Each structure stands twice: as structure tokens, then as C-alpha cells.
Amino acid sequence: MKRTFLILIWLVCLSARVLSQEIDVTRLKKIGPVTNFTKTEKGITLNCLDGSQVQLTVLAPDLIRVRASFTKPIPAKDHSWAIAKNDWATPAWSIIESPDSITIATEQLEAVIQRSPLLIDFRDARTHKIINADEQPMSYDAQGELRKIMFDPDAGKFVAAAKKLGFDEHFYGLGEKAARLDKRRGFFVNWNSDTPGYAPGRDPIYQTVPFYLGLENGAAYGIFFDNSYRSYFDFGRLSQERIWFGAEGGEMNYYFFYGPSIKNILHRYADLTGYMPLPPLWALGAQQCRYSYYPALMVEEVVRQYRERDLPLDVIYLDIHYMNGYRVFTFDPQRFPNPKALTDKLLKQGVKTVVIVDPGVKYQPEGAYSVFDQGMAGDYFQRRKSGQLFNPRVWPGDSVFVDYTRDEARRWWGDLHRAYTENGIAGIWTDMNEPADFVDQTGGNQRDVVSYDEGENSTHAKNRNVFALLMARATYEGLARLQPDRRPFVITRAAYAGIQRYSTMWTGDTLSNWEALALNVPMFTTLGLSGEPFVGSDVGGFIGRADGELLARSYQIGFLAPFFRNHHAIDGYDQEPWRFGKYYEDIIRKYLKLRYQLLPFLYTTLEEAHRTGVPLFRPLMLNYQDDPNTYNLDDQFMIGNDLLVAPVAKPDITSRLVYLPKGIWYDYWTNKKYTGGTMIRVDAPLEIVPMFVRGGTIIPSGPEMRYVGEKPVDPITFAIYPDENGLASTTLYEDDGISPAYQRGVFRRTTVNAKRVGAKYVVSVSASQGSYNPGPRRFNFVIKPSARSATVSDMGSSTSVEIR
Ligand code: MIG
């Protein structure tokens, strides 16, 4: 098994070298000048001298789409798996023509199109200041100069757009990248790849989210280059003047978002590519995994240890060895003779069971494996161009993959999950969906695989990067059909933009070392800035050997990550919370328990992410966009607007520097008050992760629990942290945590305001909103740092109390 890993790593390194070849976009053929244009209700179409067409569509006052087709008209077919919303109500916009240019303008955003050469500037409609400008006309590889670097030169022509690089411009986003927060001077490739043990800088890795943010002088814009071919983003590594993005085929097709606030952009991006639905509340609970726990007795033993040691736990995982000979949708009859009895038994202890599902279906033509038989009968499996069945080699040996671009195939695959739901399985973990193939991890063996793709019968070059998105969609929709009164829980490794509609994600096969741990913060925050709010990493790392210190520090980041799961590889060393002795176990227990106490706060920020697209796990720059000190600060993070965390991702540390932005801050542990706008040094012995609460907020928390739903959330404690004027407020969000009823208003929002009046505080609770009734319970208000408090019953009606 170790050998397999080494071979895999070697194979992928080889491919990375090829991909990192430099591409000179100045040598590509530029689109021709504008000869004339036509206007429609939604925008304009430019006709170019070389027969090319460019279309600008106004979708919203802050969102304009640009589509270009080189030397031919824009095709009638317009489809993307990433897009959730097509029916935009066109806002008011106008058009101004001059001899040199054509300008289209909304209330907020202007696109100024210079006719010759064809260059597009985006400007603020009020100030007419340039936000982003073409550095050269959009271009394409007319001569086939880039054929040698392309995955499949016959699948399309390289297309590119180049923009001027601002002197002090910073770049963010691009999904899952093993890189720092600010992507300026970086060069990135998107090609979903199985990259076990990836180190910082390794690129590409599992996911493709071709969406980035630019920020200069405090104002931000976003560009979503919706093209699923292998794509490239150069944020100024190859030139000091230019950034560019391009892809090995498909259309030049991008959406331009104007902020100026990043939060607005993320909101719009979620309008376009979809909002994350709320997962079940238990998905925020602590999770334990291992490659692999078996037989059933071993699974029970791990759960027993958790309970005996008073360590909270909500979810346990079955990795690939639960299957009968790696056949998806089956259980090994010896290892798991009675899966329903097992899941029932675990559920009685509050623990839900999640299983892994790989895309590789065992190739078993001789019969006796109904999944294979049904897939053949329905013709759901991928084929090569020749018509021959495509046989990747994955865990079951010779296998087949489903063509998830086919609606019937997705439906069939989703329905297959009945084999799990009827056995009490609570969620699905989709892995290997790049899709990995041991024959060639770069996708070479899949080059001539054809996907139905809405009748286009298109290439692997086009479809690889959306494979995982569509598999996750099939899984999510299947679970939603099978259990309509439960929120689906799906986890994925690979992805394309839009994945947030269907799945949570984790950052794959990390190393169990400090460098990998330090990557957690920039990776989670970057994913959050890319429209993926529900993210996490294997706590303790996946490959290698953790020790107690690394594991404890890893928990100190993980306990605030949305997806919170300890997981480790097959040949590695155990790293359950108790494996390094009592000293470390006690520290880990403290953070596990704190996680559960903070669930009301975490769930409130998760709901904000669901509703607005603004992630819960944030870089400071998202909350302090005007503060340049935060622009590449990636060893600190925030949860929502209110909790600032400065974790330690190095060994032997007992103190660290922390940057506090402007305002009042309170040390979470000591309540010591600080005035921000400066760096401070704070103690950070192994027991402590430095945390600070923003003055002006109120943090809701609940009682200790061993699992979600163990007991009523009673009392809810509101910890009040006054600002310089003695004010603080918050709005708590709650619902039943399990059903989709929240989408119909079955939730409760409770707003709490506190203000200092002379020597006392007045705390008032507004009448709650929404129809969810949590039952009788108390609210406990505590003024920090004085610790003076008062308790009232929550009646859902407005009430106020004085604290002296
Ligand atoms: O490379 O299913 O990233 O979490 O434990 C092995 C076995 C395939 C890779 C996943 C990892 C999982 C493992 N899988």
C-alpha cells in the first residue's frame, strides 16, 4: 500500500512539471476590432472584423457577463453545470456610443469597450474610476502554438484574457489551492487531480473553482471564468504588468462582479452559482474517521472509547473496507454482517454513520453485481470514443465510471443510495472523484472518454473538472428524494464551482506535519472566498505520523472549522484524541467541548453563509477590507464578524504575535480588554489557542453536550462584550437542525441588545422571528469582563432585564 502511494506521488509530480511550462499570451492571436454591434434587451453583441463575436450581458447592476467566440458567431448553446440562476431580471442600463468606444452602464458598473483594438474597461459608474482593464484584446491560439502543452489538442483551442496588473493589487480565491491567502505573483492551474501528501505550493490539487477576487485601494471586483477545461491563472508571475487567465478549449466566458465590498461579491456569486443549503446540525459535530475501521466491533470500540473518555462525538465513518470487495453499495458480509444493527446501536449513543462511496464501479460482466448489471442495462457507464466501455483501474481493480452528465444516470445513481439509507447510513462521503485512475493520475488514460453532455458528446478535456460536481449532485438529489424530511449530508474531495449547492468538502490527503497544518488557515479562508463555506481538513493530518503536540494544535484550528473530522491513512499511526496520552487528551477534550458549547454561535454564522454566501471561516481582510495589514494575514482567522483566532502551527511555541484590527477586543480566556489597530504578544502555551472577541458583540453558547440533540439547548448563555460606547448586539439563529422546514420559515431568530446605562446594563430581547418553537428554556446574560449576570425565561416575546 505504501508503494502505491509513492508511485502515485511520483506520477503526479511528473505531470505538474509539464503543466508549469510558461505560456506567453502576448503571442496568441487577438480578437479583431469592432465593426458594428446589435443591442438586445439584456445587452449587446459586438461583431468583429475577423468574424468573431463578443457578447456583454447585463445580469444585475453589479454583474456583467462577457462571452467571446473567435472567428465565428456565438453558439446558440449556452450551458454550464456551475450556474444556478439563468433568469435574471435585467436592471436598468444604458448605452453611450462614441467614435472610439461603446459604453454600457448600470447604476453601479460601466463597461467601456474600445472599438479598435477591442479592449474592455470596467469602471465604477459613479466615479468613472477604472476597476479593471484589459491589457490586450481577448485572444486565442490560432496557430496551435500551445498544442504541445495541451491535455487534448484536438478538444479545443486555447483561449485567454489578459488584464492590467495593479501596482498594489491583491488576489484571492480560486478555490482549493495549497498556497497563501494573497495569490498575487502566483501561477495556478485547474485540473482536478488526486494528489496524496501534497505539500505547500503543489498545484493543481483536487478542485477547480475558476473564480477570483481582485482588491486594490480597498475596492474589490470578482471574475468567474466559467470554463471547465484545464485552466490557468497567472496573477503576475510571468509579467509585472499583466495578469491573465485562459483555458485549453471552450469559450472565453466570464462574469464580472463589482463590489466594492467583497461580501457583496460573494453574495452575487452565490446568486449565480448557488447557495449552500443548511446541512443537518450534527454535521457541525465532531467526527472521527480512519482508513479503515473494521470490522463492526472495531467501529463500536472507537465509539465506546469516545463515550467512556467523555469526548463528544457525532459521526463515525466507514472507509473503503466496509464494502464487499470494494463494490459500492454493498457491505462486506464478514466485516459488517448486519449494518442496520450497527448503525442503530451507534445511533443510540448519539453517533451517526457515514460511508465512503467511490465513483469506480467494479467491472463484473459475469453477473452477480446488480449495480454493474443495471448500469450496463441503462447504458450509464462512460465509453471511449470507439464505443468501447472505459475501464479505469481503481480500488475494485478493473472498473467503470458513470457518465454523470446524463440525467437518467444521475437519477439512477442517486436512487442506489437506498442501499445505505435503509441501513441507517446518515451521510455520504464521495472520494476519488477527480476522477482518479491508477493507470494514469493525470487523466491520460481517459483522454478519449466521451460524456453525453447534453447531446454534445464531448471530451474528457471538457468534462473532467465537472465530474465530481455532477457525482455530488446525483448523491445529494438522491438522498433528498430518499429522505425528503432530512437534509442531505454529502462530503466531496474534488469539485467545480457550484459544488456548494450539493456538498461539503475536505482538503484531501494532507501530511501529518506542521507545514500542512499551517496551510489549514489560508486554504479554508480561500475556499470561503471562493463560494465554498463548509470546509475542513483531516485533523491531525492524513499521511505520516502526528504527535500529541501536533494533534492538539490541529484540534485548536479544527474545532472552529465547519467540517471537523479527525482522519488518518491506512499505513500511518493512530491519532484518535487519546492516542498520545492523558496530557494531550485533556487538551483535546477541552476544545471538543468548547466546540459543542459554541454550536449556537457557529450555527448562526453557518446560517449566514447559507443565506448570504459570506463564509463563516474568514480571513481578517473579509471583515476589514480597508486595512492593508490584513491583506496577506493568513495565520489568523475569524469566525463570522466576532471571533478572532490566532492558532499556533509550529512546534515548541508558548507565545505569539496577534494582529488586532481597529476597535475594542477582549481576550476570550481572560476577558482582558485591548484596543486594536496593533500587534500584541500573547501567551499561547499548548493548552491555549489565543482567541479574541470583538467589542460590540454578544456570543451565544449552550451547555456541554456529548452529541447534537443530546439535551435541550438550555440555558443559552449570551456573553456580552461591550464596545467603547457600552453597546453590544447579536441575532441568534435556530431551527430543528434536521429537516428542510427552515426553508419555509420554521426557524427562530432572536435579537439581543445590550447597553450601558450609568453603572448598570440593560439587556433587551426582541420578539423572536419565525415559527420554530424550541420549547421552554432560559436565557443567561453575562456581562464580560465583570461577570455580572441575570437569567430570564425565553418566551419568544420581547423582554428586558437590568444587570447591576
Ligand atoms: O488514496 O478511501 O482522500 O481520505 O481514506 C486512498 C481511502 C483513497 C483517499 C481519501 C482518503 C481515504 C482514502 N482515499
Q: How far apart are CA 283 and CA 708, in angstroms?
A: 9
Ligand 1 mean position to 356 CA, how many Å?
9
Q: Known catalytic residue: 485?
A: no
Interval between CA 3 and ligand 1 midpoint (Å): 15
Q: 290: closest CA among 319, 311, 312?
A: 319
Which residue out of 176, 321, 428, 432 has the highest number of ligand 1 atoms within 8 Å of its CB and is therefore the one to mutate?
432
pLDDT the model gives residue 21: 58
> Ligand 1: which residue has its CA nearest to atom 13?
291
Instruction: Ligand 1, residue 290: give the atom nearest the CA.
Output: 5
**Count of Cβ atoms closer than 10 Å to residue 349 Cβ:** 15
Ligand 1 within 6 A of 356 CB?
Answer: yes
- pLDDT at position 5 over 60: no
Ligand 1, residue 196: give the atom nearest the CA.
Answer: 1
Would you say the CB of residue 572 lies under 6 angstroms from ligand 1? Answer: no
Cα dist from 21 to 136, 144, 187, 229, 445, whole Å: 21, 16, 10, 17, 22
Mutate to test the pocket of ligand 1, among 2, 288, 319, 505 (most ligand atoms within 8 A of CB): 319
Distance 291 CA to ligand 1 centre (A): 7
What average pLDDT score do residues 432-451 get?
97
Residue whose Cα lies nearest atom 11 of ligand 1: it is 509
Atom of ligand 1 nearest to the CA of 569: 5
- Starting at the earlier edge strand, list the strands of the sheet with 673-675: 617-618, 637-639, 643-645, 691-694, 664-667, 673-675
Closest atom of ligand 1 to 493 CA is 3
509 CB within 6 A, ligand 1: yes
d(Cα 697, Cα 753) in Å, to the nearest integer? 9
Rounded to 5°, the CA angle 548-552-555 comes to 140
Best residue for ligand 1 mutational test, from 195, 205, 291 (most atoms within 8 Å of Cβ): 291
Task: Kindly state the average pLDDT of the residues 586-596.
Answer: 98
Query: β-strand 397-400 against 393-394: which pairing, if any?
Result: antiparallel
User: pTM value?
Assistant: 0.97
Atom 1 (ligand 1) nearest CA:
196
pLDDT tens digits along 122-179: 999 999 999 999 999 999 999 999 999 999 999 999 999 999 999 999 999 999 999 9
Strand pairing category for 352-357 and 425-430: parallel
Q: What separation in Å is there between the alpha carbon of 432 and the centre of ligand 1? A: 7
Which atom of ligand 1 has the smallest separation from the CA of 8?
1
Tell whether the model's pLDDT for residue 588 goes beyond 70: yes
Residues found in the chain:
804
Please answer whether residues 506 and 537 qualify as being in contact, where contact means their C-beta atoms are separated by less than 8 angstroms: yes
pLDDT tens-digit readout, 642-680 = 999 999 999 999 999 999 999 999 999 999 999 999 999
Ligand 1 centroid to 551 CA: how many Å?
20
- Per-residue pLDDT of 380-435, as tens digits, reads 999 999 999 999 999 999 999 999 999 999 999 999 999 999 999 999 999 999 99
Atom of ligand 1 nearest to the CA of 320: 2
Segment (H or E) for 425: strand 425-430
- Output the CA 562–ligand 1 centroid distance in Å: 20
Nearest one of 710, 638, 742 to 282, comparing CA atoms: 710
Atom of ligand 1 nearest to the CA of 291: 5
Residue 670 is predicted with a pLDDT of 97
Is the distance from the beta carbon of residue 429 to the nearest atom of ligand 1 less than 6 Å?
Answer: no
State the closest ligand 1 atom to the C-alpha of 542, by its place in the atom list counted from 1: 4
Residue 431 Cα to ligand 1 middle (Å): 7
Check pocket membership of 320 for ligand 1, CB cut-off 6 A. yes
Is residue 431 flagged as an active site residue? yes
Give how far the C-alpha of residue 338 lies from the chain's centroid of Cα atoms, to the nearest Å. 35
Are 168 and 275 contacting, i.e. CB atoms less than 8 angstroms apart?
no
Nearest CA to ligand 1 atom 12: 291
Q: Which three cell numbers stand for residue 25?
A: 499570451
Give residue 30's pLDDT.
98
Residue range 288-343, pLDDT digits in tens = 999 999 999 999 999 999 999 999 999 999 999 999 999 999 999 999 999 999 99
Beta bridge partners of 430: 357, 492
Q: Residue 491: CB within 6 Å of ligand 1?
A: no
Compute the chain's Rg from CA coordinates.
Answer: 27
Determine how many CB atoms are found less than 10 A away from the CB of residue 168: 10
Residue in 62, 176, 509, 607 annotated catalytic: 509
pLDDT in the model for residue 559? 98
How close is the Cα of 191 to the center of ligand 1, in Å?
A: 19
Closest-lying ligand 1 atom to the alpha carbon of residue 358 = 2
- pLDDT above 50: residue 76: yes
Distance separating alpha carbons of residues 486 and 475, to the nearest angstrom = 14
Which ligand 1 atom is nearest residue 570's CA? 5
What per-residue confidence (pLDDT) applies to 18? 44
Cα–Cα distance measured from residue 333 to residue 573, given in angstroms and rounded to the nearest whole number: 27
State in Å: Cα 793 to ligand 1 middle.
Answer: 48
Q: Is the CB of 291 under 6 A from ligand 1?
A: yes
DSSP state of 360: P
Q: Tell me, in angstroms, the distance from the centre of ligand 1 to residue 196's CA.
A: 9
| Catalytic hit among 194, 434, 437, 477 | 434
Sign of the four-CA dihedral 477, 449, 429, 247: negative
- For residue 173, what are the CA distances in angstroms to 223, 236, 584? 10, 15, 35
Active-site residue, from 182, 319, 431, 477: 431
Distance from residue 4's CA to the centre of ligand 1 (Å):
12
Sort 92 into a burial class: Cβ within 10 Å, 0-12 / 13-18 / 19+.
exposed
Contact assessment for residue 656 and residue 684, using Cβ atoms and an 8 Å cutoff: yes
Burial (Cβ within 10 Å: 0-12, 13-18, ≥19) of residue 568: buried
Q: Which of 323, 431, 507 to mutate to test the pocket of ligand 1 (most atoms within 8 A of CB)?
A: 431
Ligand 1 center to 165 CA (angstroms): 39
Is 508 near ligand 1, meaning CB less than 6 Å away? yes
634 is catalytic: no
Q: Rounded to the nearest whole angstrom, what is the distance from the C-alpha of residue 751 to the centroid of ligand 1?
A: 43
Does position 13 have pLDDT exceeding 90, yes or no?
A: no
Q: What is the mean pLDDT of the chain?
A: 96
Average pLDDT over residues 699-711: 98
CB of 156 within 6 A of ligand 1: the answer is no
777: pLDDT strictly greater than 80: yes
Pocket test for ligand 1, best of 195, 328, 356, 399 (most atoms within 8 A of CB): 356
493 lines ligand 1 (CB under 6 A): yes
Q: Is residue 319 lining ligand 1, measured as CB closer than 6 Å?
A: yes
**Helix (H) / strand (E) containing 267:** helix 262-273
Helix (H) or strand (E) holding 480: helix 467-482
Asked if residues 75 and 69 have their Cβ atoms less than 8 Å apart, the reply is yes
